[in-house]
Amino acid sequence: MRSRIRTVLAAVVAAACLALAASASADPMSSTQAFNVIKALMAKEQKACNLTRTHLKDQGMTMTGAPWKATATIKTRKGSGPAVWMVATGSTTPENALAKTVSRGCR
């Protein structure tokens, strides 16, 4: 059952990334889209990391193509505190150690 959930979540994340990549030549990513990318990433790794989210906020740099900074205050089995990602159309980059740990599935 767990592998089935992971497979479905991975497919959802992949579909979202493909949809965002397809729209790269159109409008820049909105803060709502950036939120959804980070929420999907955290949902994908929720069980592996025993992850709970306590707060999620965004700080937009510009709307002309620069990435969004998404900060989530989280608790995991590997640590807790703010996890920071830069989110642009087609890419998500962890910006601190906790975000990198979550992005790797807390391995």
Instruction: Report how many domains make up the chain.
Output: 1
- Containing domain of residue 42, as a range? 2-103
What is the rounded CA–CA span in Å between residue 51 and residue 19?
26
Q: Which ranges of 1-107 would DSSP assign to H, the alpha helix? A: 2-22, 31-49, 97-103
- From the number of C-beta atoms within 10 Å of its C-beta (0-12, 13-18, 19+), residue 26 rates as exposed
**pTM score > 0.85 for this model?**
no
pLDDT of amino acid 76: 92
Q: Mean pLDDT of successive 10-residue segments in the chain (107 residues)?
A: 59 51 56 83 91 71 58 90 86 93 92
